[in-house]
Structure formats: C-alpha cells, structure tokens
Amino acid sequence: MSKPEGATADGSIFLDYPYDFIALAPIKAAKRRRAELTQDRHWAVFYGGTVMVIIFWLITPLQSAILGTGSVKARIPASVSTLSTTLPASEQPEIMDQSILNEGYALTYLNQSLPPFTTLEYTILPFTAQSKVAESSTTNWTGTSTKYWTQLECWSGEISQNGPSTKKTYDFGNGRGCNASEIDVYGSLNDSRPFKMLYIGYQNSAWADYWLARSTCPKSAAGHQFLSVWSRYNATLKRIKMASVFCETNYFKQQVNATVSSIGQVPIENSVVPTGPRERLAVTEFNYTAFEHLLGAGVSSVELDVKREYPFGLLLEHYQQMSDLGINWPMSPMAGFAIASQNKPPLDAFRNETLMGEAYNATHKMLFSLALRRVLRNTTSEGTIQGSVDFALYGIVVSRLFSAIVEALLVLVGIFTILLWWHNYRAASRLTMDPASLGSLISLCQNSTVLLDRFAGKGCMSEEDLKLAFKHQRFKLFCGCQSRSRQMVIKVVDVRDEDCMDRRHSGIQPEAAFSVGHYSPVKPLALRREVGTAVILTMIGAVAALIYLKVEEIRIRGLIRPTNNFELLQILENYIPTVFATLLEPFWVLVNRLLCIMQPFKDLWSGGRSASSSIHARYTSVPPQLVFWRAAKSRHFMLMAMCLLAILSNLLAVGLGGLFNEFPVVIESPREFQQTLMPRLNNESVHGDQSRQLFSANVAPYHVPFYITMNNISKGTPLPAWTTKDYFFQPFTVIPGDEDTGDTYTAQTRGFGLLPSCSVAGPFKSRVRGPVVNHTYARHGEVVPGCPTAYRAASFDFNSTRHRPLIGECSAEVFDFFSGSWGSTPCNVPFILGWSRSSNITDKEQGEMESTFVICEPIFTTAMFDVTVDREGYVHRTVVVSEPSSTLDYPLSMNHTDALVIMLTKIFTKDQMSWHNDTLSQDWFNYLLKIQPNHTRILNPDVFPNAAELVSSVEGVYRQLYVLMLSLNHFLFDTFPEPVTITGVQRRTETRIFMDTSALVVSLVVLLVNILVAAALYGFSIKHFLPRMPTTIGSILAYVAPSRAVREYDGPQSLQSSTYSFGRYVGDDGRAHVGIELDPFVVPVKLSALKRGDTEPRKGLLRHLMGGGKKSRGDTWL
C-alpha cells in the first residue's frame, strides 16, 4: 500500500503470509502475478520463504547427514631407511642349507606365513619407515627398494634310448651341447606306483642320484641348467611314456617403489612399481652355485664341513604328501614342490612340458625368495630416502556428496538473502508505527473513515466473502506528512461506482449489507481436532517406533543396516529423523502463531478485558517461540506450553539427529555343522601298512610334527587347524551348500590328548657303564604284569664303539623305551629320557659319569569341549564341558591309543647318539627342549641339568607331538557312513546400528511432552467462535470498524479505565454487529448458540429493543 499506485485488497489488507504453513508461503508468493503489474509479485516473501524452506528441510537435516563415522585413508611423508644388503657370495654356501627347503615345505603344506618383504614370486630388500603413526593392520609403508627374483627359460629335451630296451635307461639332450646319459626313468615295474619325476641339477653331489656335470655335458653348455623328467610305466603293455624339459636359471634385480604392511611387512599386491631398469644379479651378490646345488642335491654344498643343530641337517620328505598320486620313492623335493605348485593334479598332467616348466618356474621363484632372505645382513651404512606412510584414520567422516549439496544450498541462501535485502531496501514504506497489536491497528486506521465505512457491518462475513466484497478495490497508505490531518490514512483509491460495483461483483445489496444472518465459526486447518488427532497419532507412532527399534536393538544386538552405501545410510540414520523433527517444528510454529493471534480475541470473548491484556497485547510482534515470557506474565498457560513445544522441537531435531550410531559388534546365531570323523580310531589304519610306512624311517623319515613344534616354539607360527598344544579336536564344518558367513564358530566336540605323567629318577653316579634305573609300571593303580622294572642306559657306556675319544667335559643324552624293546605291547608305553655328564670318557676303567632321568607313563585323555574356531578351523578358545576319560567309547580304545604312543616314541628313539663336547643337539626331542624358555643350557657339558625343572617341558613337548600326530593324520580315525549333524553357534562381526540412550531419552521425553500438550490443546483448549481468523488487516478491521472503540481510541494511554469485550453490539450507526467493543455495550457470544445454529435471540427484552421481531430487519444476532 505504500507504493504510489497502491495495492489490491488481496495483495495488501488480506495478506496472511505469517499464518501460512512455511512451505506454502514461497509458492503462494511466486504465483502472484498480474498482467499489467508484474511488480505485484511478492519477491521478498518468495526469497525469505524459500530461504526458510531450504534451511528447515534441506540444510538442517543434511547437516546431520554430512558427518558420519568411519575410516579414511591418509598419507604422510616419512623417511625410509634400507637396513640390509647381501652377504658376500663366499659366505653364503653355509647358510644355504636344508632349512630353506624345509621352510618351503612349511609354506607349501603347513600354511605357514611368508617371511617379511617376500612373496612366492619375489623378495625386496627390507626397509623401515620412521613415523609416529602406530603400526596397525591398516598402516602401510611405501619406499624405494630393490626387488630380487628368478626366471626360468625352459624348452623340451631330446629323448633317446641308451642301449637296448632291457637296459631301461635313456639319454636327454638340451640341443646346446649337453647330453645327460644313462638316466633310469622307470618307476615301479608294476602298476602300483607307475610315475617317476626327476629333477637333475648340474652340480656333482654324493647326495644326488644324477647330475648333469659330466664329460657329455660341459659347464659351458649347461652350467646353470637342470633337467626335469616325467615318466609313466604301463606294466601291462610294458611301455613307458616320457616328457622332459631343460631349464636355465636367470637371476634379476631392479629398483622399485614398493608398499608393504607395517605389521608383517607383507608386500601389497600390485604395489611394486619399477623405477629403474632390470639388471642381472651379479655372482658376487648371490652364490648361484650353492643355491643350485641345494636344489639339485637337497643338501648344502658344504654339508660335510658344517656342524649344525640336528633339525637343520634334516630334509622334510615330500613323499608322504604325494604317496596317494602313485609316484615312486625316492623322489626329489623339487618334484614335490612342482606338483604342489599346481595344487596336486593327477600326475598325467605333467606330460605337458609347458606345464612342467611353469611348475618348476614357480618352485624356483619361491625357493629363491626364501634363499635370498637368508643371505641378507644388516648394513651399517644406513641410506635414508623419502617415502610415505599410509594409514587409516577413524573418526568423523564427511560425505562429499552431502557437503557439496549443503555448500551449494548455502550459496543459494546467501544469494536469496542478498536479494531479500535488496528488495527490502528498495521497497517503499509509509508506516510510522508497528501494527503489532489491535490498538496500533486502530490507531493506524481510525482516521481512514472511508475505509472504516467500507468494513462496517461485515463482521460476520467469512474470509472468502470479505475478499470478494473488496475484489476490485485498491488501497493506498499515506503517512502523516502527506495528509492534512497529519495522521496516517489508508485511502480507497481507483474506486468505480461503489453501489454498482457492489451489486455487480459482490451480489450484496447496500441496504442489506448487514443482513448476513447466522455464521459458522471458522475452524483453521491446523486447529481442527481431526488434524490434531492425526498429529498426536503420528507422534504416538513415532514413540512406538522408537521403543520398538530400541527393543529390537537389544534383542538382536543392534539393528541390521539396510545397505552399505554411506550416503544412503546417512539419509536413513540422520536426514529422515531430522526431517521429521523439522516438519514438526513448523507445524507447532504455525499453531503457535494462530494461538497468538487468537489469544487477545479469546480474552475479549471472555469479556471485561483491559486494553493492556487485549488490544495492546503484542503477541505477534516477535517469533512465536519468544512469546513465552509475555504469555507467562499474562498467565496464558496453554500459549506458554505451545511456545515450549516450538522450542523443544529444536531439541527434538538434535535428539533424533544424533539418535542412530554405528558400531561393530559380534553377532551370535545358531548354526548347524556336520562331522565326518568318528571319535574312534580305525584298527586297520593304526596297525596297517600306511601307519608303518609313515611313522617308520624305512621309507621316508617322518619329521613334520617336530618341525611344526619347532616353528611354533621358536617363531610362534600357528599350530594346524583343530589343534592346540594339549588337544586335537574332532573337526566340524559348515554344511556344504550353506553360506559360510561366520567369522568364528562354536560347537561341542570331542578333544583327544595325552597326559605324559612324568617323574624324575636320579641323579645317579656310575663308572664306565650307564646307571640302572628302577621303575615299576602301573596303570590305574595296578602294576602292569610282565613289564621290566629296570632300565640301564647302555648308550652311556664309555666302551661303546660309537663314541669318539673326546677330552674334557662331555655330555650324552638318551631317549628310549623303558622296556628297552620295540614291541607293540603295553610295556612299551613308558619311555625314559636321560642326560649324563662326564669329564673323562676316555678312561674306560674308572671313568665316572653323573646321570639323571625323566620317566614318563603316557595316558590317553579325552573330554567334550565347547570349541571356538575360525573359518579355517584354527582354534581360538576351548572350554571343557565333561569329565575327562582315559578311553574312548569302544573296546579297543586303549589298545589303539597305546599303539600311537609307541609309534611316536619309535620316531624319537635313536641309536646313533653319542658323547659330545659341544652344545649341539643330536635328536629332535632334546632340541625341542633346548629352545624352550630357561632350557638353553640343557646340552651344555659344563652344566648338569635339573631334571625336576625339565618335567613340565618334557610333558608339554610330548603331549604337543602326540596331538600333532593325530591332527596331521586323519586317516587314523574311522569316518561316519553319512555326515553327522550337530548344532552350535556362529559368530560374525557386523557393523550395526545402535540407538544412543541419551538421545533416545531426550527424543522420547520431547515427544511425550508434545503428545500431552497436543492432547490438552485439541481436547480442551481450542474454542471456535470467530467467523473468520483475524490473520489479516482486513479481517481485523471488519471486527472493529463500526465500534465506539475506534472513534474514542486515542493512543495507548487513552481509555485506560475502560474494558473491552468481543461479542454482539450496536454500533454508532444503530445497527447490530459482531466484533470488539467497549464494555458495557457488548453481549457475549454463546458457543451453545453457535452449536445449535440459531443466530436469533428467541425471547426477552433485548429482542424487542433491537427489533428482533421485524423480519425485514437484517441485523446479525447471536
């Protein structure tokens, strides 16, 4: 109205933007247009409303969705130092011994881990990063290093028969001047083991059956080559099939940029990037000859010149791993590696010479990587280069998608705010006061007599009818400086013939302008009971949903994430809950605004209200949330409660926004498993040929359990699946076809173990001959009849021919059956270990020795356990759940368990042990004791061992070896005809959603307060008595225009002793009206009359005085 041309009624005095739902205000403003005057569009409202919508339902909820928890990858620069270099080539032969092949065996068959900085194809020089970042599974080091690897060049050999067919030998030529002649390629001459695979290196060795170095194969023609032969003999047809390849070794190095994990220093796949050219590895850096001798002969090239601990002079046999393939023994360890590198296919596959070359290439790569690791030494010339450390940071993660959206929205808000400021700055304003109360509005309009006349008599009209009455009229605001009265005036401008216009457009006759009759009280949508009921039910549903989700979270240990997508999770966990709260807040703000505008009218309807608490009440001049104190002073408690709800809605947004959090948790669920092994030993397996061949040294020495124990003690490598140091457990597996989703599994299964039951005997002193040890073998408290009661350590005798004439302090050890025999009777279950010291073993007449012994009576033990294993079967935890027993539930149990004890003891028993004056071990058991904590001096000739201190270690080692014997040889057990199903528990670590208790309590309390206040509001507090809502200037003017209050009001200080009411009254024009008037000229509006729909007074003096009986009279009565 401050514009020169004024404004239409719909665009000025009937505007009600503050009482629209905030989401509709910008839409309503954007739709306003006129063909003639585009400036009638309310851009300021559009910009301001759009900003509020963006803040309420986009920025605010998205802010909570921007931040989540998780991990991000970070990289910082770091100094990287290379601390190793290769030993001189002349010092390497002694290091390249059988332990390299044994380590390869452990990697191939026993699932042991690769050394640091090593893969199966290459190794890199070790380096370390100097960083303050803690080493963890997610931390990686990147630096420049040197990569080492080998590569074979293979081609087919030329095969020809050597001599007559009866000779059964063949010649193999490499086509380059080398001929390997008279090679026997036949396996067994029957069909039991028809295959034979040979690996023939170049170097001559007493430990090799064949070698290439001969007159027919000069070094210049095959110096770094080997010959591989595959053959299969058909005994029925008496024909042999053969294939052969010659391979030449090449060794390389190259400067690379590599990334390794900080824990374990495992090279990261595809992270090794060359930074320099490939170079051949010089012979001064790596001893080719010593390495190739080890591969060809299976022993060190200086084997006869070096003394080692007993295990390091042994070679683990591959034959036990390959015997089921039909290959003949003896076999080269290289052949075993080659077969295993291809996952043990049928041996006919190696007739393919390409496959054979690839298999040996993979084998050479692995063994070269292990060998080069052995010949590294620390260097004093530390080289430092620039590298980096990659690590994971855990904490608050910013979603780039949502942050970009919020950034764009903030820019949009900024633009709209500037535009809002610009439009407000440019907008004309002729207001000289804030029309924030009824009194200020009266002051604003009381000088506009034409305007008041226009609104007189329209108090009962609905909002729509009122707008229709002023549809084609414009209004213009003049400030005091523009009027003669020096008062602010609202003029009706551009008015055509009023009577005609009213008749034509409003359909209301001027004489009948007051004849409205009965009106129905307006019921704003937000204040209707059905809307209130819907809102209350929604909040009750929200409370029920939150409680249900919390109960489910407790029941299933966290809510299952519906997706793994970070953005979608942020929407579900943060955005949607916050949107719910931000939808609730504008609704309560709207309700609050409506109550604020209605409160003065409600007070006036009650009657007898002073100006300060009615027409001067300024509830609409501040945001609804800030009306709290004004309402409190006026004792408007429901309004106070609604202000509190509007404020608490912000707290609800905070509570719901922080309600859901994610944490990893171990989830347990029932699971079915199956078992194939029976808790019963198989008689044929225990006493049959397979056991005798495996556990006796007649075919191939069986050292695998000892090697595993050695690495477990010295390196901490894990024991095989289903095995602890004390028990082997009956395996169970996930039923085939079921999804293997668990991290660990727990089920009740049987454990098999041994109680060695050892005791000390001695010390004894004797001359020349070993002492006699007396011991009676008893089982379950009863003496076992027929068993020897004395043992003499004959191996300690000085006059034995096995002993060398040693001078000075010497020591000797013995491990033997106490019975001294090798039979499979119960009397051979006890075994004895002994240690002796002497300073004069060469005195075979009076020489003295001092000896001590440990005697053990192994007893089998079994019990039921709750066993927890991972997917591979490695045991994590065991809990015994039954009483232990010394037998299994079948008659031959003790016979079988005793037989296994005897077979294990046989492997230990050696007759080559002699007196020695060094500290090196001569057998497996003493070496395993030596590497135990506090027993490093057990073989020192200068120290007499304390047998009592050794008992626990002896028991532990023997028990572990017995368990490994069962674990590695499942063929010893019977199997179920059909797998047996058992029940257990599956555990897996999942990231699940949890509800923060504090946020949940806050949210529930706020929602419950909302429900209680809403129930009170919609159930008892809202009274509908107005014909229309006083949300516009026009609507309010229609209530006060004809009243005396407008004529007599002269500012806030006037009429201070007067009171005001809302109801029916007779105005200065002598007609009846509905609105606000000075007391005592007001008759209150009765809700009962509105409910009956009767607007006429039925009887009484007032009806006659006001002319109620005249039907031509159109005044409104209630």
Residue 191 has pLDDT above 70, yes or no: yes
Listed range (296-305, 862-871, 874-883) with the worst mean pLDDT: 296-305
Instruction: Report pLDDT digits (tens) over 558-607.
Output: 899 898 888 888 888 888 888 888 788 888 888 888 888 788 888 888 77
pLDDT on residue 1103: 46
Cα separations (Å) of 204 from 200, 213, 375, 935?
10, 6, 23, 40
DSSP summary character for residue 820:
S
pLDDT on residue 633: 78
pLDDT on residue 1001: 94
921: its two tokens: 């071990």
- My answer on whether 121 and 264 are in the same domain is yes
User: How does residue 37 score in pLDDT terms, banded at 50, 70 and 90?
Assistant: very low
- My answer on whether 787 and 861 are in the same domain is yes
Task: Give DSSP secondary structure letters for 400-430.
Answer: HHHHHHHHHHHHHHHHHHHHHHHHHHHS---
User: How does residue 544 score in pLDDT terms, banded at 50, 70 and 90?
Assistant: very high
Q: Which segments of 308-429 does DSSP mark as H helices, in order? A: 319-322, 333-341, 353-374, 400-426
* Contacts of residue 976, Cβ cutoff 8 Å, sequence gap at least 6: 675, 676, 677, 678
CA 1111 to chain centre: 84
Q: Please list the residues that pair with 225 across neighbouring strands.
A: 248
Q: Which helix (H) or strand (E) holds 765?
A: strand 758-767
The verdict on residue 966 lying in a domain is yes
Cα separations (Å) of 416 from 28, 47, 97, 128, 1021?
17, 5, 80, 56, 39
Listed range (187-201, 266-280, 459-473, 780-794) with the worst mean pLDDT: 459-473
- My answer on whether 963 and 1001 are in the same domain is no
The verdict on residue 488 lying in a domain is no
In this prediction, residues 878-884 reach a mean pLDDT of 95
- My answer on whether 862 and 799 are in the same domain is yes
- My answer on whether 955 and 917 are in the same domain is yes
pLDDT on residue 1049: 74
What type of residue is 545? Answer: A
In this prediction, residues 1005-1014 reach a mean pLDDT of 93
pLDDT on residue 1012: 93
The verdict on residue 850 lying in a domain is yes
Three-state SS at 522? coil
pLDDT on residue 254: 96
pLDDT above 70 covers a percentage of the chain that reads 88
DSSP summary character for residue 724:
-
User: How does residue 131 score in pLDDT terms, banded at 50, 70 and 90?
Assistant: confident
Residue 1045 has pLDDT above 60, yes or no: yes
- My answer on whether 809 and 754 are in the same domain is yes
* β strands within 410-498, DSSP E: 474-478, 489-493
Average pLDDT of the residues of the chain:
84
Q: Please list the residues that pair with 985 across neighbouring strands.
A: 670, 746
579: its two tokens: 């949107």
In this prediction, residues 951-958 reach a mean pLDDT of 95
Three-state SS at 566? helix
Distance separating alpha carbons of residues 335 and 319, to the nearest angstrom: 10
> How do 169-173 and 848-856 pair as beta strands?
unpaired
What type of residue is 972? Answer: L
Residue 335 has pLDDT above 90, yes or no: yes
Under 8 Å between Cβ of 286 and 372: yes
Residue 557 has pLDDT above 80, yes or no: yes
User: How does residue 736 score in pLDDT terms, banded at 50, 70 and 90?
Assistant: confident
How many of the other CB atoms lie within 10 Å of CB of 572?
A: 17
25: its two tokens: 């205000």
Angle among Cα 965, 969, 974 to the nearest 5 degrees reads 120
Give the residue with greater pLDDT, 451 vs 902: 902
DSSP summary character for residue 719:
P
Phi, psi of 348 (to 5 degrees): -60, -25
* pTM for the structure as a whole: 0.74
- My answer on whether 864 and 772 are in the same domain is yes
Distance separating alpha carbons of residues 250 and 281, to the nearest angstrom: 8
The verdict on residue 732 lying in a domain is no
pLDDT on residue 1060: 83
User: How does residue 1089 score in pLDDT terms, banded at 50, 70 and 90?
Assistant: low
Residues counted in the chain: 1118
Phi, psi of 233 (to 5 degrees): -105, 130
How many of the other CB atoms lie within 10 Å of CB of 906?
A: 16
- My answer on whether 650 and 799 are in the same domain is no
Place of tokens 């010291």: 837
pLDDT on residue 1092: 59
Most distant CA atoms of the chain, gap in Å: 158
In this prediction, residues 162-190 reach a mean pLDDT of 88
CA 46 to chain centre: 46
The verdict on residue 919 lying in a domain is yes
* Contacts of residue 684, Cβ cutoff 8 Å, sequence gap at least 6: none
In this prediction, residues 77-103 reach a mean pLDDT of 91
Distance separating alpha carbons of residues 32 and 795, to the nearest angstrom: 115
- My answer on whether 209 and 245 are in the same domain is yes
pLDDT on residue 54: 85
What type of residue is 867? Answer: V
Q: Which segments of 946-1043 does DSSP mark as H helices, in order? A: 947-967, 997-1016, 1033-1040
Distance separating alpha carbons of residues 704 and 102, to the nearest angstrom: 10
Residue 823 has pLDDT above 50, yes or no: yes
Residue 463 has pLDDT above 90, yes or no: no
DSSP percent split of the chain into helix, strand, coil, nearest 5: 35, 25, 35
Under 8 Å between Cβ of 359 and 352: no
pLDDT on residue 509: 39
978: its two tokens: 């059909």
* Contacts of residue 715, Cβ cutoff 8 Å, sequence gap at least 6: none
Spatial CA neighbour of 124 closest among 83, 92, 177, 158: 83
In this prediction, residues 962-970 reach a mean pLDDT of 94
Distance separating alpha carbons of residues 128 and 444, to the nearest angstrom: 84
Domain-terminating residue out of 986, 1021, 1056: 1021
Place of tokens 């029940």: 983
* Contacts of residue 213, Cβ cutoff 8 Å, sequence gap at least 6: 202, 203, 204, 219
Domain that holds residue 765: 674-691+710-721+742-891+912-975
The verdict on residue 183 lying in a domain is no
Instruction: Report pLDDT digits (tens) over 339-365.
Output: 999 999 999 999 999 999 999 999 999
512: its two tokens: 């009948």
- My answer on whether 146 and 226 are in the same domain is yes
Spatial CA neighbour of 963 closest among 721, 713, 726, 671: 726
Instruction: Report pLDDT digits (tens) over 684-693.
Output: 999 888 888 7
User: How does residue 515 score in pLDDT terms, banded at 50, 70 and 90?
Assistant: very low
User: How does residue 499 score in pLDDT terms, banded at 50, 70 and 90?
Assistant: very low
Distance separating alpha carbons of residues 656 and 434, to the nearest angstrom: 38
The 3-class secondary structure across 147-173, one letter per residue, is: EEEEEEEEEECEEEEECCHHHCEEEEE
The verdict on residue 699 lying in a domain is no
Q: Residue 693: how many CA atoms within 13 Å on its side-chain side?
A: 12
Distance separating alpha carbons of residues 377 and 82, to the nearest angstrom: 11
- My answer on whether 133 and 36 are in the same domain is no
Place of tokens 């599956």: 986
Residue 746 has pLDDT above 80, yes or no: yes
Task: Give DSSP secondary structure letters for 174-186.
Answer: -SSS-EEEEE---
pLDDT on residue 498: 46
Q: Which residues of 260-283 are buried (b: 16+ CB within 10 A; e: fewer)?
A: bbbeebbbeeeebeeeeeeeebee
Distance separating alpha carbons of residues 432 and 663, to the nearest angstrom: 60
Under 8 Å between Cβ of 40 and 1: no
Integer distance in angstroms from the first to the last C-alpha of the chain? 35
- My answer on whether 234 and 273 are in the same domain is yes
844: its two tokens: 């075979």
Residue 921 has pLDDT above 80, yes or no: yes
In this prediction, residues 710-736 reach a mean pLDDT of 93
Residue 897 has pLDDT above 80, yes or no: yes
Residue 40 has pLDDT above 60, yes or no: no
Give the residue with greater pLDDT, 385 vs 784: 784
Distance separating alpha carbons of residues 1029 and 925, to the nearest angstrom: 100
Spatial CA neighbour of 1066 closest among 1117, 1111, 1018: 1117
Distance separating alpha carbons of residues 67 and 466, to the nearest angstrom: 51
Three-state SS at 111? coil
In this prediction, residues 944-948 reach a mean pLDDT of 94
The verdict on residue 1049 lying in a domain is no
DSSP summary character for residue 1018:
I
Distance separating alpha carbons of residues 890 and 893, to the nearest angstrom: 6
User: How does residue 1099 score in pLDDT terms, banded at 50, 70 and 90?
Assistant: very low
Distance separating alpha carbons of residues 533 and 524, to the nearest angstrom: 14
Sign of CA dihedral 520, 521, 525, 529: negative
Under 8 Å between Cβ of 47 and 20: no
Give the residue with greater pLDDT, 976 vs 641: 976
Domain-terminating residue out of 987, 1021, 1055: 1021
Spatial CA neighbour of 926 closest among 834, 809, 849: 834
pLDDT on residue 434: 64
Under 8 Å between Cβ of 781 and 803: no
Give the residue with greater pLDDT, 503 vs 638: 638
DSSP summary character for residue 318:
S
Number of domains observed in the structure of the chain: 4
